[in-house]
Every structure is written in structure tokens, then in C-alpha cells.
């Protein structure tokens, strides 16, 4: 269904009723916790159904959907189930006594923000829905979620799972539709208290404008052009495999993909040759084929976008050590690509491609060159460092303008580890205790206790 404004109005009204007078906000935290935990259990129970839906909709290899997307989605619900019973304020000892002899009791409360609008992308449909929904439910909020038009099926199945788990009617409302006719009126809706969006930086800016009329709270998890750094003292077997994982995982359709590779000059040729060798051996194919290692781009639009970047790279002088072109024939396949002879000014280096395309560049020294070049981006979502020198690892990590820094690994996620970006990669954090701040208001209460005893 292509939902439009009347459908958005109906969903928001249902959420408003559920928050203002429904059973969810009146439930004890341990009751909510049990329901949230059950959602995680049911996700694991329906692993095969969810994995197949994810592969059919998105194109990703079913083995990846089964072993990563579904498992991590269940884990975030199990993790957030524990936080439902641990949301607490604090008692304050006031420094100023306005009336001599009068005592005051002051404390803070953490309260759910209300009706939350959430808009998720197509690259990890089930996982992004889980990242958004689990903390909302833990905080006691209600939600209207717009699923990505390319990949709605796992989200709709998740809605059935939540009903089976005992989530009351109106607490979670799923919409399918397009950004302009469904997402825009949802973000601007006057009865929505908060908007949480994951997607491109370009659309994130539109979300901010839509929410600005009534100054809604907004959190954004946006794009990236993440630097991945390999120092000459790195374990090259680990570094080469890690850099390949950083760009080729999920067909490069990941906001935190390590798409800008910086390799110290001495080892540059060996490293890029090793990554290209991995790229040449990746088997492309349909997601449901168990032997497939990389599926197609999600859509014709994305296929054309990545193809356009490959053309731009060639025209500006880049050389492909592997790949470098789209695959003709059935399916939106792009060859795993490693581009060399690139520089920091090229379009393929500066802009987010969202495909299996790595731009590799050498550097001489860390202090005078590397940090400046690594931070030379409007994004600041993630970064990677490969080195056997722990002192260098910490020093470089401290200087990188990125929300997540991986050392001697890449694309490692955990429900306990906050994820989000600096600069134009977004506002706020997903996962961990940090994410609850997105959905809670802080209320200060001051009570006069009368004359001191």
C-alpha cells in the first residue's frame, strides 16, 4: 500500500490514543520488559522466514541475513528489555535556600517523550527497524514507523511478531509508502513529538525542515565516507581482510562502509593487490542462492547511481585493480571494485557511493598528513585503524572525527555500543544506554517540605 496523508493521520491518531490513554504507558516496567524480551525470542523463532524476506526484498545473501541481520535484531530487543526496568532520575541536594528555615526536596524524573515518528532505510530493513523500535518500547513511548518503499516485507512481518508478543494495539504502527507522500507528512505531523530518521544526509536535512515548524525533537543517523587506515606495521593478513570486509560487506550499501582507504606508502601496492584479489573472487548471485557471496544493488536507481560513480572515477583518472563496471544482464549487479590513482578531490573520494567501491590512496606520515586527510570530509560516522602499535592506535583514534573507530577490525556492532556520527553524519546515537536519551524527557521536581525539623 502506498500510504498518504490520510493514512498517516490515522496512524498518528492511533498512536496518540495509545500513549495518552492506552495500557502501554500505564504498564509496569517489568511487564514491558517481558514483552520486549519476547519479541527478541520470536525473531529468533522466525529466523528463516525473516531471512528469506530480507533476501528477497533487499538482495543480500540469505546466509548474511540469517547470521547477521536476524541475530542482531533479536539481540537489540533482548538488550533493551533490560533497560526498561532501569530508567531512573536522581535526587538533588539544593545549594540555595530561598526561605530561611524551609527545606526542599528536589529530584528528576525520566519520562517518555510521547509519539515518535521513525523512518528507516532499505539497506538493513529488519535491523534498522529493531534498532529504532526496541529503545522506543523500553522507554514507554509509542511509534509510527515508515518502512522503506524498496524493502517493507520484514518490517510488516515484525509487526505481526510484536502482536504475537503482546504489544497492545496502537503502540506500534507501520506505514508503507514513499518519502514525499508518506514520510514528509509524518515528519511534519503536529501530533508527533519526536522524529528519528536513518538515511541519507540529503533527506535528513529535509526531515529537519519538516520538523522545524513545531520544534520537534529530532535524531538523525545519516551518511558517511569513512576512512580506513592501514599503517606499515599492521598485520597485513588481518588488515587486507578487514579492509575488504569494510567495503564489500552488504554490497557496500552501508552508511559506515570503509570506502576511503589510506595505506602507508611502503605497503600500499601489496595491500591494494590483496584487496583486489579478494574482490575478484567474490561470487555474485541471487540472494537466495546459498553459494552467493554478494547480491545485487537494491534497485535500478541504486544500480544507476553506483554506475555513474564508476564512470566519474574513470573520467577523472582512477584505475580499477578489480571490477570497475556494472554487470550487464539480469539483475542490478556491480562488480566489487578497487580504485587506485585517486586523490582527495575526486568525486568518488568525497561523495558517498553506497556500493562496493573502494578508493585507495597512499600516505607518508601520520602526524603531518594522515589525520588531516582522514578528517577532510563533511561526514564523521566511522573509521578504521590497522596497526600492531597500541599507542599509535589510541592516538589516531582520539584525533579522528568519527562516532565509531574500529581498531584491527571493521563492522563490529553490539547492542551495548552506541553508534552515530559527527558532523553531517547525524545527531544522537543508536544502541547502548545512549539511545534512551533520544526518547526520554527530563523533568525536575522541587517540593517544599516546610520548616526544618
Do you know the residue count of the chain? 453
- Catalytic residue (choose from 3, 141, 182, 255): 255
Task: Give the three-class secondary structure for 114.
Answer: coil
CA atoms within 13 A on the CB side of 129: 32
> How many angstroms separate the Cα of 234 from the Cα of each of 228, 250, 321, 382, 395?
13, 25, 22, 19, 15
> How many angstroms separate the Cα of 365 from the Cα of each of 14, 232, 342, 410?
58, 10, 18, 22
The bridge status of strand 91-92 relative to strand 426-427 is: unpaired
DSSP string, 147-207: EPTT--HHHHHHHHHHHHHTPPTTSEEEEE--IIIIIHHHHT-TT--EEEEES-HHHHHHH
- Residue 261 cell numbers, joined: 582507504
Which positions ≥6 away from 146 have C-beta within 8 Å? 3, 117, 118, 119, 120, 175, 176, 177, 182, 183, 186
The DSSP code for 213 is G
For the four alpha carbons of 300, 301, 306 and 310, in that order, the dihedral sign comes to positive
Cα distance between residue 46 and residue 156, in whole Å: 13
Which positions ≥6 away from 422 have C-beta within 8 Å? 380, 381, 401, 402, 403
Which positions ≥6 away from 94 have C-beta within 8 Å? 104, 106, 446
| CB atoms inside a 10 Å sphere around CB 282 | 18
Cα distance between residue 115 and residue 368, in whole Å: 49
The radius of gyration of the chain's CA atoms, rounded to the nearest angstrom, is 24
Task: Give the three-class secondary structure for 136.
Answer: helix
For the four alpha carbons of 7, 13, 15 and 17, in that order, the dihedral sign comes to negative
Residue owning grid cell 600500499: 268
- Catalytic residue (choose from 221, 335, 352, 430): 221
Q: Is 265 a catalytic residue?
A: no
Q: Is 352 a catalytic residue?
A: no
Residues with a catalytic annotation lie at 221, 255
Amino acid at each position: 500500500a502506498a500510504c498518504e496523508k490520510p493514512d498517516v493521520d490515522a496512524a498518528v491518531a492511533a498512536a496518540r490514543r495509545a500513549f495518552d490513554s492506552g495500557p502501554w504507558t500505564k504498564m509496569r516496567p517489568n511487564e514491558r520488559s517481558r514483552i520486549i524480551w519476547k519479541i527478541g525470542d520470536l525473531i529468533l523463532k522466525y529466523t528463516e522466514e525473516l531471512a528469506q524476506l530480507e533476501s528477497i526484498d533487499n538482495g543480500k545473501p540469505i546466509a548474511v541475513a540469517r547470521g547477521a541481520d536476524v541475530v542482531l535484531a533479536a539481540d537489540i530487543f533482548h538488550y533493551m528489555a533490560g533497560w526498561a526496568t532501569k530508567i531512573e532520575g536522581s535526587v538533588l541536594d539544593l545549594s540555595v535556600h530561598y526561605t530561611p528555615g524551609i527545606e526542599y526536596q528536589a529530584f528528576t524524573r525520566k519520562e517518555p517523550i510521547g509519539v515518535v515518528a521513525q523512518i528507516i532505510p532499505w539497506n538493513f530493513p529488519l535491523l534498522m527497524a529493531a534498532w529504532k523500535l526496541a529503545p522506543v518500547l523500553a522507554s514507554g513511548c509509542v511509534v509510527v514507523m515508515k518502512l522503506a518503499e524498496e524493502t517493507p516485507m520484514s518490517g510488516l512481518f515484525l509487526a505481526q511478531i510484536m502482536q504475537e508478543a503482546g504489544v497492545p494495539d496502537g503502540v506500534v504502527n507501520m506505514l508503507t509508502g514513499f518519502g514525499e507522500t508518506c514520510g514528509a507528512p509524518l515528519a511534519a505531523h503536529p501530533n508527533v513529538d519526536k522524529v528519528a530518521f536513518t538515511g541519507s544526509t540529503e533527506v535528513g536535512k529535509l526531515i529537519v525542515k519538516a520538523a522545524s515548524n513545531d520544534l520537534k525533537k529530532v535524531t538523525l543517523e545519516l551518511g558517511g565516507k569513512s576512512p580506513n587506515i592501514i599503517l606499515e606495521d599492521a598485520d597485513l593478513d588481518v588488515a587486507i581482510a578487514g579492509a575488504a570486509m569494510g567495503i564489500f560487506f552488504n554490497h557496500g550499501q552501508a552508511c559506515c562502509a570503509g570506502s576511503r582507504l589510506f595505506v602507508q606508502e611502503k605497503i600500499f601496492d601489496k595491500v591494494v593487490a590483496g584487496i583486489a584479489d579478494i574482490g575478484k573472487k567474490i561470487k555474485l548471485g541471487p540472494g537466495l542462492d546459498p553459494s552467493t557471496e554478494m547480491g545485487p544493488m537494491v534497485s535500478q536507481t541504486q544500480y544507476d547511481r553506483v554506475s555513474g560513480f564508476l564512470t566519474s572515477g574513470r573520467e577523472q583518472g582512477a584505475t580499477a585493480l578489480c571490477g570497475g563496471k556494472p554487470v550487464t544482464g539480469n539483475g542490478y549487479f556491480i562488480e566489487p571494485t578497487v580504485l587506485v590513482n585517486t586523490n582527495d578531490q575526486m568525486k568518488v573520494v568525497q561523495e558517498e557511493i553506497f556500493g562496493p567501491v573502494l578508493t585507495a590512496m597512499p600516505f607518508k606520515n601520520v602526524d603531518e598528513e594522515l589525520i588531516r586527510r582522514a578528517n577532510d570530509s563533511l561526514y564523521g560516522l566511522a573509521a578504521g585503524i590497522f596497526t600492531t602499535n597500541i599507542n599509535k592506535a589510541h592516538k589516531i583514534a582520539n584525533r579522528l572525527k568519527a562516532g565509531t573507530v574500529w581498531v584491527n577490525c571493521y563492522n563490529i556492532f553490539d547492542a551495548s555500543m552506541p553508534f552515530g556520527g559527527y558532523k553531517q553524519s547525524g545527531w544522537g546515537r543508536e544502541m547502548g544506554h545512549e539511545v534512551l536519551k533520544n526518547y526520554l524527557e527530563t523533568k525536575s521536581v522541587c517540593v517544599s517540605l516546610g520548616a526544618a525539623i
